[in-house]
Amino acid sequence: MKRWAAWALAAVAAAAPLVLPEFTVTLLDYVGLATLVALGLVVLTGVAGVVSFGQQAFVGLAAYATAVLTTGAGWSPWGGLVASLATTVAAALLLGAVTLRLSGHYLAIATIAWGIAFYHLFGTLPGLGQYTGIDELPPVRVGGFAFDNGRKSCYLIWGAVVLALLAARNLLDSRSGRAIRALRFRSGMAESCGVDTAALKLTVFVYAALLGGVSGWLHAHFLRFVSPYAFGVNAGIDYLFMAVIGGAAQVWGAVVGAGVVTLLREWLKDVLPVLFQHSGNFETIVFGVLMIALLQRTREGLVPALVRWWPRRAGARPWLRPARCRRGASGRPLARRCSN
């Protein structure tokens, strides 16, 4: 991902709340919240190869931590952010130390198990409002400015998204990032080079959990309400689905996957009841069929497919051709898409 692309995204996010309808801005807020969690899964699952269906638990932990402290103890939302991230790190270290010893489908089942456990924990404890939830959370404030509606919150949410994208890109381009990339298929080689793969996996696991924690904190103060229904097992599956649809090994895949899944679901909810003249969960069935068809055509995700498509278009239009091509000692181009 080029750095200019992230700043272009920031410019679009800055202009969107000024020109788009309220409902569309709210959808963009949800896309931004989901992007943060999906970005963590891009690094954790797509790059490091650690499959997790339980990221919604970290989102919920952070949301409930800030909700309890800001409504019951009188903390400010910024104090709630510190407490949320500290709670998330502690939980991720504990869960990671136990579950990352597993591999393959055992690891996936373990993440589903503690995702279910946290869902019922949120709904059972009286201090967390049980299944009724906690409401009347205060909005985030910076000085005298309050992010107290969807349009204002859009700047806060997408500002966090842009910073997270830049940080993830820098991480993956660093020396540590190269070690993370080796975890998926070349862990033996990484260990022979002195990399502590167990510690690195735990670090990546905590990193992904922290992004989920930021999303949970934003979720709580954007809606100003938390309940366990937003953090069920289906949410964890959706987050992983977003990463896979967008491109599990691509930073931009988190944005594309979160946008496609969130917007397509909402569109199907509006269209299908009119089409079938009956209310029901038709969007779940149709959405599943569409996603299977999409993955059949683009198994690596949408972003890699677009990257492969772009050079072909650039070759068809001279003004879109790359400015530079690598050439060998004989002067011949090394890449097929480069012209002589």
Single out the residue of 262, 285, 219 nearest to residue 56, CA to CA.
219
pLDDT number for residue 299: 72
Which positions ≥6 away from 247 have C-beta within 8 Å?
Answer: 42, 46, 253, 256, 257, 300, 301, 302, 303, 304
pLDDT number for residue 190: 77
Q: Is residue 337 part of a domain?
A: no
Higher pLDDT, 275 or 316: 275
- Rounded to whole angstroms, how far apart are CA atoms 62 and 65? 5
Q: Is residue 201 part of a domain?
A: yes
Please state whether 247 falls in left (phi above 0), alpha (psi between -120 and 50) or beta.
Answer: left
Q: Is residue 284 part of a domain?
A: no
pLDDT tops 90 at residue 280: no
Query: pLDDT of 123-173, one tens digit each?
Result: 999 889 999 999 999 999 998 899 999 999 999 999 999 999 999 999 998
Q: Is residue 273 part of a domain?
A: no
When pLDDT is averaged across residues 97-121 and rounded to a whole number, the result is: 91
Q: Is residue 275 part of a domain?
A: no
Higher pLDDT, 87 or 246: 87
pLDDT number for residue 330: 47
**In the structure encoding, which two tokens stand for residue 46, read together?**
């797509």
Q: Is residue 310 part of a domain?
A: no
Query: pLDDT of 30-58, one tens digit each?
Result: 999 999 999 999 999 989 989 999 999 99
pLDDT tops 90 at residue 85: yes
Q: Is residue 143 part of a domain?
A: yes
What's the CATH number where 110 sits? 1.10.3470
Split into its structural domains, the chain has a count of: 1
pLDDT tops 60 at residue 331: no
Cβ proximity of 253 and 46 under 8 Å: yes
When pLDDT is averaged across residues 60-80 and rounded to a whole number, the result is: 95
pLDDT number for residue 291: 77
Phi, psi for 250 (deg, rounded to 5): -120, 135
**Which range marks the domain in which residue 230 is found?**
3-261
pTM (2 d.p.): 0.87
Which positions ≥6 away from 234 have C-beta within 8 Å?
Answer: none
Residue 30 buriedness (CB in 10 A; 0-12 / 13-18 / 19+) = buried
- Percent of the chain predicted with pLDDT > 70: 89
Q: Is residue 303 part of a domain?
A: no
When pLDDT is averaged across residues 269-279 and rounded to a whole number, the result is: 79
- pLDDT class for 80, splitting at 50, 70, 90? very high
pLDDT tops 60 at residue 221: yes
- pLDDT class for 297, splitting at 50, 70, 90? confident
- pLDDT class for 311, splitting at 50, 70, 90? low
